[in-house]
Amino acid sequence: MKLKYNSLIFFILSLNSCIKVIDGPIDIQKPNFTAIEIPLTKDYSQKVYYSLATKSIVKTTNTYSWDIAFTSDLTRKGKVLLNYAYGETGGKGMNTLNTDFDSIYTASNIEANALKFKYANFYDINSNLFDNSLSYINNELTSNQNVFILVLEPGRVIKVQILQYTKTNVVFRHGKIDNTDTVTVSMPLNPNNNYNYYSFKNKNIVSVEPSSNTSWDIEFTKYTTLLTEFNSTRYYAVTGAILNPSKSLEYTMINNINIDNVDIAKASIQSYKLDLLGIGYSWKKFSSPSSDGFYTIEPRTYIVKEGPTFYSIQFTEFSKLIGTTMEKGYPQFLQNNL
Amino acid sequence: MYLKRFFLVLNLIFNINLISQNISQFNIFYNDTKDPVFGAKVLFYKGVKIVNNSLSDENGKVEFNRDLDFEYLEIKKSGYQIISFSKGTNISAIYLKPRANEIDEVVITGQIIPGNKYQSPFKLKFYSKEEIESKNSVNLADFLQTENNFQITQDAVLGTKVSLNGMNGQDLKILIDGIPVAGRLNGTVDFSQILLNNIERIEVVDGPLSVIYGTNSSGGVINLISKSKVKEDIAVNANLFAESVGQINFNGSISTNKKGNQIRLEFGRNVFLGWDQFADSLKKTIKPLWRDEDWNPKEQYFANFSFYRALNKKSKLHLKFNGFWEDILNKQDPASAYSENVIDDQYKTSRINIGGTFDYKINNEFELLQSANFTTFIRTTSYYSQNLTTAKRSLLNQVDENFYNFFYRAILRQDAFKTKVKVLYGMDLNLDMLQAQKILNQTKALYEVGFFSMVNLQLNEQLFFQPGLRFANNSLFPSTLAPTFNLRYDFSQKASARLSYSHGYRNPEIKELFFNFVDNNHNIQGNQNLQTEENDNVQLGFDIKSNKEEDKPHSYSTSFTLSLISKTNAIEIVPVDVSKNEFQYQNIGKYNSMVFSLDNRMKINNIMFGLGGNISGFSRFYNNTANQISQFLFNGSVNLNCTYTYKPWSTKFTFLSKFYTTNTISVLNITNNRVETSEFPSYIMTDFNASRNFFDKKLSVTIGVKNIFNVKNLSVLGYNGNFHSAAGSNEVNFLWGRSIFTTINLNLSK
């Protein structure tokens, strides 16, 4: 009897000690399409212009190298942009409705009018700060020369006044709100660029876009947009893909499908939309508030249509292991030209 | 044994001597150990009137005058059968047998002198070894799931939290043999880490007991009494528990009693393989690889050692070692179908307790109880990059949290039987130290010294008054006074009423002040400006029970309690930046609750029947908010427990069920600074099992089903300010649905 009990105890002990969670290895078969990595880098300090046709990066620029941008296309809404990478706390301003540039403003003036602040994003026409001060009549653009208080980023506040704005040139002046450090700038506008960029900090013109606005299709960048995902709607900095507004790019997305299951026949029967932010940021899902930068990627394939040509894209990662840290800011995707 | 017999003969000789002096005497012994019984009450009756009383001394001796005019006497000792005999009966030795009836229990938690729970001015609950075993609960959270007034919530990483009467885990003191369990995550003990293998019984004080137990006990005290006494020369126990959800537990123990040295050694391993509600369905079709699970796989080891010895008639020593190790793997999904690397997080916890108690009986009136304990609680969070194709992983980052606690308590208790006054004097010292990478200077420490006293005054045969006061000095917070006043009035032996007032407090813990807890699911910030939480509690109760002395096969008890609690400076974790999933501890305002609770228990032959319920109302007043929800929001629960023993089969059937009504709570939404509501839907938990003994109780087998109605997850309506999501209606991982389980228990002893 004793032997039986001892055997039972031994059996139970053995049974329990055998049980263990086994994790992998797993066979992951990646399709043989071009794998692209977009180096926005840590803190998204770079913006990247990408060409679908050539499957290559056309240009990489410092995200924060510029503060204001002017388009030479005077018919476009969103003629003047502020750097849209600062999120809720920057890239916004207020129309003082005052044309006297020498008026002095204080921090308390600004704080009292905080609710009047607007953003200046070209894709957010309802919130464009400058448009109401620029009248386009008889092929000419007229500025009412109102002075704007701009919060470029927390702690960096200036005032600016657009004096003259033509298709080829813009004249404006800017200075600190206490009316010091004022500068008047005459900036030529390159029609081959969507926008022409200027840095208030360095008081110089900055080259941001590739030399030709038809050489690229997607701008990967950090940008500010109105988010409704929180309990209250708010402007928030996201990171994603913006389609080139100068090209007639349409897009669609098919959920729960991998890129190797999307062929020309499937792409041809989809309905496409003209939406610069159609791809946007929502292909990834924030998964971790910690510094390991972990995001999950939505199981979907995007198709971008340019005339008769279809490009399929499936994002695979947003983070990259660098040393012992998983750094976010490295979108990776597979691309197939159908 | 020879020594006892010697004393017995000596007593008999002495007895003759006393008789010659017109004094009679007899001695009282415990039937099982044959030790003399100290403090047994002897009541001398003439008709129904008590004409005199006495108390057995440390040798169990009772003396009385032969000329005393009485008809019969009764010998009473809590937890033991009452013995009575008529005047003139020639008897010199009385042997007390323990009561088998479960409705009348001896409790020690919060008591000046251990006694019947119905003699206490506090609302006490008692769970016997049989009740614990009949539920087949692995841990304390499982056990409390179907108990009245308790509410259980789950977190995949922080573990299982329990609230009692709406008071959260931060307000509950968990004790093991009277020693506080140290090592809290997010302010609360993980109840799933409190394993019940080694637990003999559970005592719950359903109300504030800050006067004795200090901070963290303003909501109640749960005291787990471990198995330490060993009767057999040697006993071996092995236990296997397997549940279909993927849980396999094993534990074994060996205990011995040689020459009064009672030693118990126990070890065990619990394995949980992980569970996900969609593991076999939708997720797998969408994503080729689904690793993330609602319930993370978990592995627990534990080892317990206990040494108990009565050094002499006056002193007892109990030494303990408890080791607990837990490993939780939080597997993540790959970012996409073609990702080869994932970042997994792993949580390793170890909790080591070394401590003991030393009880010394100074004389018939005074007893000194001392306990000391040292705890190390180490939690390591590691982030690994795992290559899925090779199954190799490399460490990316590691966050350590080392918590050390030293606790000492000395209690001097006085039982002045002649004046019917019982007094408890005590002091305790609690030292906490936390070392972690993410607190200021990486190390923080605090201490609290408390001095307390409680007096039990029997004002007359029916009215008891028990005031108490605690003075506590904390190194980081102002000194605190915690008074309590308790009244109990016995209408009869069957019915009594309780009225109590207590002022409780909870000092913020080191983590709440200084800690930043950041991982894949949480971002919790400390707050150095936190103030001490204080609360006032008024409790009114009525107890009715059957008369024990009648020793009938039927017995019952009914307990009704109304608790009113008002808490100020309530500390809660609130979202401060939803976009970053960032939460912070804050004094959110005032918190009121009222709880009506009814517990009924009945025993009819082989059936134990329990029916209870409560209606709880809560209101919260948040500081500086745009609105308030001032009215009480009510919820309730009904629990039904039944145990039936079918003797022809030697089989016991246990049915446990608890129904929770819809639960609406108010929550502060920091993002819009408004108070909003979250609503948890109603649900029911029902378990059933049958157990049978074989081979003269050497082997017992239990099979059963848990969560019969297959409740898996609950959708929270309204604002959900928890750590995992920001808004709207979402599902909360709550229960893993129906499962079947079996327990095989082997007991060998000689």
User: Which of A118-127, B87-96, B306-315 bottoms out in mean pLDDT, i.e. has the lowest?
Assistant: A118-127
* Residue A175 or B667, more confident: A175
Site from A10, A286, A290, A298 to mutate, B interface, most B CB atoms within 10 angstroms: A290
Averaged pLDDT for residues B167-173: 81
Tokens of A73: 């296309």
Are A319 and B335 in contact by the 8 Å Cβ rule? The answer is yes
Q: What was the pLDDT predicted at B133? A: 81
Say if the Cβ atoms of A292 and B343 lie within 8 Å.
yes
Q: Answer whether B238 sits within 8 Å of A8, measured CB to CB.
A: yes
Evaluate whether ipTM surpasses 0.85.
no
The whole-angstrom separation of Cα B11 and Cα B27 is 8
Contact B466, B458 (CB under 8 A): no
Looking at residue B11, what is its pLDDT?
Answer: 46
Which residues of chain A make contact with B291, given a CB cutoff of 8 A?
23
Q: Band of the pLDDT at B690, cuts 50, 70, 90?
A: very high
> What per-residue confidence (pLDDT) applies to B723?
38
Instruction: Check residues B221 and B35 and name the one with the higher pLDDT.
Output: B221
Q: How confident is the model at residue B643 (pLDDT cuts 50, 70, 90)?
A: very high
Q: Which one is predicted more confidently, B120 or B526?
A: B526
Residue with more model confidence, B656 or B280 = B656
Provide mean pLDDT across the span B462-479. 91
| pLDDT on residue B718 | 67
d(CA B314, CA B472): 31
Predicted confidence (pLDDT) at residue A28 exceeds the cutoff of 70: yes
For residues A278 and B112, the model is more confident at: A278
Host H or E run for residue B294? none
The pLDDT of residue B103 is 44
Task: Work out the pLDDT band at A74, boundaries 50, 70, 90.
Answer: confident
Q: How far is CA B205 from the centre of its chain?
A: 8
CA dist., res. A258 & res. B286, Å (int): 10
Give the pLDDT confidence score for residue B424 in this predicted structure.
Answer: 92
Task: Looking at the complex, report in whole angstroms how far the Cα of residue A232 sits from the nearest Cα belonging to chain B.
Answer: 7
A9 and B CB contact within 8 Å:
yes
Q: Is the pLDDT of residue B102 over 60?
A: no
- For the cut 60, the answer to whether the pLDDT of residue B6 exceeds it is no
pLDDT at B417 > cutoff 70: no
Other C-beta atoms closer than 10 Å to the C-beta of B33 total 12
What are the chain A neighbours of B340 within 8 Å (beta carbons)?
Answer: 28
A258 touches chain B (CB under 8 A): yes
Is A25 part of the contact surface with chain B (CB cutoff 8 Å)?
Answer: yes
CB-based contact, B297 to chain A, within 8 Å: yes
Does any CB of chain B come closer than 8 Å to the CB of residue A184? no
| pLDDT per residue as tens digits for the range B710-729 | 988 777 776 555 433 333 33
* B710 reaches A (C-beta below 8 A): no
Average pLDDT over residues A327-335: 91
pLDDT of residue B265: 92
Chain B residues with CB inside 8 Å of A89's CB? none
Residue A289: is its pLDDT beyond 50? no
Among candidates A5, A294, A316 on the partner chain, residue whose Cβ is nearest the Cβ of B343:
A294
* Mean of pLDDT values over B30-56: 80
Contact (Cβ atoms closer than 8 angstroms) between residue B100 and residue B164: no
Instruction: Look at residue B12 and tell me whether its pLDDT is greater than 60.
Output: no
Please state, in angstroms and rounded to a whole number, the distance separating the CA atoms of residues B380 and B4. 54
Contacts of B16 (CB under 8 A, 6+ apart): none
Q: Is the pLDDT of residue B569 over 80?
A: yes
First to last CA, chain A: 75
* From A83-87, B534-538, B745-749, the region with the lowest mean pLDDT: B745-749
Mean pLDDT along residues A249-271: 92
Does residue B719 contact residue B727 with C-beta atoms inside 8 Å? Answer: yes
Higher-pLDDT residue of B443 and B288 is: B443
Q: Which of A24, A284, A294 sits opposite B332 (nearest CB)?
A: A294
* A191-246 pLDDT per residue, tens: 999 999 999 999 999 999 999 999 999 999 999 888 776 556 778 888 999 999 99
pLDDT at A230: 58
| Cis omega (within 30 of 0) for bond into A25 | yes
Q: What is the DSSP track for B246-285?
A: TEEEEEEEEEEEETTEEEEEEEEEEEE--B-TTTTSHHHH
Q: How many contacts does A have with B, using Cβ atoms within 8 A?
A: 154
Question: Which among B335, B389, B394 has CB closest to A295?
Answer: B335
Distance from CA of A259 to the nearest CA of B (A): 10
Mean pLDDT across B632-637: 90
Chain A residues inside the 8 Å CB shell of B626? none
pLDDT of residue B159: 66
Query: Residue B227, Cα to own-chain centre: how many angstroms?
Result: 14
> Nearest CA to CA, how far is A23 from chain B (Å)?
7
| Chain B residues whose beta carbon lies within 8 Å of the beta carbon of residue A295 | 335
pLDDT, tens digit, 9 for 90 and up, residues B373-402: 999 999 898 888 888 888 888 888 888 889
Q: What is the pLDDT of residue B273?
A: 87
Residues of A in contact with B236 (CB under 8 A): 9
Residue B736 has pLDDT above 90, yes or no: no
CA distance B391 to chain A (A): 4
**B335 contact A CB<8A:** yes
pLDDT band at A184 (very low <50, low <70, confident <90, very high): very high
- Return d(Cα B198, Cα B730) in angstroms, integer: 38
pLDDT for residue B186 is more than 70: no
| Facing A317 at nearest CB: one of B238, B250, B336 | B336
Q: What is the dihedral of CA A26, A29, A34, A38, to 10 degrees?
A: -20
Question: What are B563's two structure tokens?
Answer: 């608790």
> B332 falls in which pLDDT band (50, 70, 90)?
confident
Q: What is the mean pLDDT of residues A77-94?
A: 89
Contact B653, B678 (CB under 8 A): no
Q: Residue range B156-178: average pLDDT?
A: 78
Gap between the Cα atoms of A306 and A315, Å rounded: 20
Average pLDDT, chain B: 82
**Average pLDDT value for chain A:** 86
pLDDT score at A5? 59
Region A271-277 average pLDDT: 92
Is residue A325 less than 8 Å (CB to CB) from chain B?
yes
Q: Measured at the alpha carbon of residue B328, what is the angle toward residues B323 and B333, in degrees to the nearest 5?
A: 175
The answer, as to whether pTM is greater than 0.80, is no
B-facing residues of A in 281-310 (CB < 8 A) are 284, 287-292, 294-297, 299
Which amino acid is located at B29 in the chain? F
- Record: contact B335-A296, CB cut-off 8 A: yes
Mean pLDDT along residues B441-455: 90
pLDDT at B10: 43
Pick the closest to residue B111 from B165, B178, B176, B171 (CA basis).
B178
Of the candidates B671, B663, B661, B662, the residue with the CA atom closest to the CA atom of residue B721 = B671
Residues B118-149: tens digit of each pLDDT: 677 777 888 888 888 888 787 888 888 888 88
B279 in contact with A, Cβ within 8 Å: no
